[in-house]
Amino acid sequence: MSNPLHDFDSSHLPASHSLIAGVDEVGRGPLAGPVVAAAVIFFPQAPRLPVQDSKQLSPKMRQKLFHQIIRCSFVGIGMVDETMIDQINIYQATRVAMKKALLSLNQIPDLVLIDGNMQLDISLTQKAIVKGDTKSASIAAASIIAKVFRDEWMERLDQVYPGYGFAKHKGYPTPEHLASLKVLGPSQAHRRSFAPVRAFFQETLR
């Protein structure tokens, strides 16, 4: 099956038997919950799945591809929770999550393709690809894994902290979420360093 995203990865292979790991993250913008990163190395003989940027896929298609990717690749997941995000900031937390995802792989890649302009402190050859989830099959696959994993995590948080609508908006600052935040105040899952959440505490101190 022809897919320009797979062709992009093939063009970056250092040698015929090399392995590429694509890395992407989900959850930099939400007011609550973790940031999640995934790393994906397709098996050498894996089928060319119709992967693309997870944001362009329906939830049903993401779920289908999630299971297909799991079956034909090495997958690593890294997560940094809201407490650590508040301590080290979201940019550094994203780098930590990506590094965790790579370190959790049970195969060492020859090349790491990273979505965006991130550079990781790892002793692996790496290349940052701006808008990589629209160009690289392995990065797109990582975006799907991270998105499905995080969405399911937020659905579980919705049961722990009802009333905020986490299952619906996944922690992003929608009007519904901001309204519930004003009424209920922040939960333990909220990122206190993010402006709308921080504003609540500033108001209560007045």
Evaluate whether 106 touches 74 at the Cβ level (below 8 Å): yes
Q: What is the enclosing helix (H) or strand (E) of 38? A: strand 35-42
Evaluate whether 142 touches 154 at the Cβ level (below 8 Å): no
Q: How confident is the model at residue 13 (pLDDT cuts 50, 70, 90)?
A: confident
Is residue 205 pLDDT above 60, yes or no?
Answer: no
Can you give the CATH number for the domain in which 86 is found? 3.30.420.10
Model-level pTM? 0.94
The per-residue pLDDT for range 110-165, each reduced to its tens digit, is 999 999 999 999 999 999 999 999 999 999 999 999 999 999 999 999 999 999 99
Q: Is residue 27 part of a domain?
A: yes
Domain that holds residue 136: 4-160
Rounded to the nearest 5°, which phi and psi values hold at 25? Answer: -130, 160
Q: Is residue 47 part of a domain?
A: yes
Q: Is residue 190 part of a domain?
A: no
Evaluate whether 47 touches 75 at the Cβ level (below 8 Å): no
Domain count, the chain: 1
Residue 31 per-residue DSSP state? S
Farthest CA pair distance, the chain: 64
Q: What is the enclosing helix (H) or strand (E) of 128? A: strand 126-129
Instruction: For residue 160, give both structure tokens.
Output: 């722990």
Q: Is residue 98 part of a domain?
A: yes
Give the C-alpha separation, 179 to 192, whole Å. 17
Q: Is residue 25 part of a domain?
A: yes
Q: Is residue 176 part of a domain?
A: no
Q: Is residue 45 part of a domain?
A: yes
Q: How confident is the model at residue 178 (pLDDT cuts 50, 70, 90)?
A: very high
Q: Is residue 53 part of a domain?
A: yes
User: Does residue 48 sit in helix, strand or coil?
Assistant: coil
Residue 17 CB partners (closer than 8 Å, separation 6+): 44
Is residue 6 pLDDT above 80, yes or no?
Answer: yes
